[in-house]
Structure 1
């Protein structure tokens, strides 16, 4: 295990060089990894493990859309695809990748199949950290740990297919067998992590919920919407407002940040842009710091988890979600975005190629 030093703060990390795939395969050679849930994280993690030579099966409700998706992805009913309860029985490692609300509902079924020596694997610290709300309390004779990829299952799979890796955190809640550490690291490598950094269940869920509501999704949409509105009110066209708010950021600047950091991105922009960014970033920090502080406290006190449980467990959750997503989708900003994306060269070439194929 390597140690990284960040200004005096040491972190434990595991790289693919020090824990190669061959080692992960050896650790997991006698395991049956049962992926329960085939929605957001399930497909990416299951397929990456499958391609990495791990004995992975999928547990899903028969005749559901996700069952059909698993079949399309190459999982074979009766061989590598089973009803949930049979997969739970067969699995020695239970990858519990259902939504938080669905994990609560299925927990009594999962619990009875957690026989001594098995492992319960999460990709989120929610169920364990907020167990007074979720009721998820594992038996003492099983390993309990998590691998949390820092991105969606779609990104995890895409990066794997590109020969890259999505960084993941890992944490051990319970080591009943004495082998929890090697099991969790092996699984982290097998699902396609770039490198693994150590955390605990509480810190993982606190940072994750803060990030999702903050810079990863909630805050960025709020900032997009505010800047777009100002530009439109000042007479700029939808195309110009969207390009200056979203397109340039996502297509040009963020790849530069990902490549070498914010300072490098600044250095590769005009001097006028550099001066403005350096003058204004602290004002935005000071304006949003109270909001982020309030957000973190809402997460830490359990308010956010309870709201998620109450909302997401409602029978009409999907219908209500669609209404809220439709509001975003139908907004002028994201309708402008749809048009702008269609004008990218790669999206212009595809219809032309298809038309040529039809003509031939």
Structure 2
């Protein structure tokens, strides 16, 4: 493992230099990796592993998602199977269904976990909240996770570009004595940029906080607040959207990703710099209590209970579509659709 200084704190991380793809392939050369679920993470992880040379199969029920797997090159009866058959054939079971679907399918998965097999997750939810989910792995199987820090779409896109998406990894149960190496090999196989170690509890609490916070919930709330203030003061939808979203996502965030927030500031006007430096702390002070409330809600398992209860309802998909439509049909994101259509095509 490599020791890296993160802002004064030294962490051990795994890079492709310490654990190259060849080592990962050797570690898993006798394994059949069965990816169960072809929804959010399934396509990116399975396609990346397949192209990296691993022995991968997919388990998916018949339907639109099954058809998508066929379109992606998975061959029925050879590399694409019904879930039960894939579970029997697999030695590493990649349980990549949604949290609610994992609860429903767990009895089937558990029955297929024969001694010596491995159970792989990309989220610590099911095992961490086992009292609520009922997901308690048998003692004679390895249990570990690799959690890419982004969507499956981003994982795939960066892999195709020859890059990588950073991932956390954790071992929950080491029945074989080799779970850690298998876990790291899986992380390299799915296309991680580098791997940092955590545990199942820390993964799920940081993940739930991040999704509800700066990654999705908070950013939408901040977008909406600024957009509404600009519109209330007479600015056009185009001006309000460009100043709120487009400039951030298309111009400024790539600079932050490239070389940090201070570098982005340094590449903006002195007027912009002065305003940003004056206002970031008031925004921090205003929002930090909300983040503390959010983290406590995750820590007390309130957020887990809400997710399990609501996402397990039979009409969940219909209710979800209504809530997504509220975003999609809002003036801000209708303006966004128009702005995206006006972006010039690259030749």
TM-score range, shorter chain: over 0.9
How far the C-alpha of 1:233 sits from its partner, in A, is: 0.5
The question of 1:51 aligning with 2:48 is answered no
| Partner Cα separation in structure 2 for residue 337 and residue 74 of structure 1 | 34
Say whether 1:115 aligns with 2:114.
Answer: yes
Q: CA deviation at 1:277?
A: 0.2
CA deviations on 1:321-350 (whole Å, 9 max, x unpaired) are: 000000000000000000000000028x7x
Distance 2:329 2:345 in 1: 24
Partner of 2:2: 2
CA deviations over 1:18-39 (Å, ceiling 9, x no partner) = 1111111111111000000000
What does the per-residue CA deviation read over 1:285-340, in whole Å, with 9 as the maximum and x for residues that have no partner? 00000000000000011100110000001111000000000000000000000000
Matched residue pairs, number? 347
TM-score, normalised with respect to structure 1: 0.95
Supply the distance in 2 between the matched residues of 1:232 and 1:90 (Cα, whole angstroms): 57
Correspondence for 2:301: 302
Tell me, in whole angstroms, the C-alpha distance in 2 between the residues paired with 1:95 and 1:52.
Answer: 17
- Provide the TM-score with structure 2 as the length reference: 0.99
1:11 deviation in Å? 1.7
**CA distance in 2 between partners of 1:6 and 1:287 (Å):** 26
1:14 equivalenced with 2:28 (yes/no):
no
Matches for 1:266-305 after TM superposition, within 5 Å: 266-305=265-304
Between the aligned partners of 1:260 and 1:6, the Cα distance in structure 2 is 14
Structure 2 unaligned segments of length 5 or more: list them. Answer: none
Structure 1 gap segments, 5+ residues each: 350-360
- Name the SS of the counterpart of 1:107 in structure 2: helix
**Corresponding position of 2:336:** 337
Give the equivalent residue in structure 2 for 1:24.
24
Cα RMSD, aligned residues only: 0.9
Whether 2:93 is the aligned partner of 1:94: answer yes
1:73 paired residue number? 72
**Alpha-carbon deviation of 1:6?**
2.9
Q: By how many angstroms is 1:5 displaced?
A: 2.6
How far, CA to CA, are the matches of 1:7 and 1:312 in structure 2? 38
2:213 and 2:287 map into 1 onto residues whose CA distance is 10
Instruction: Compute the displacement of 1:250 (Å).
Output: 0.0
Q: Per the alignment, in what secondary structure is the counterpart of residue 345 of structure 1?
A: coil
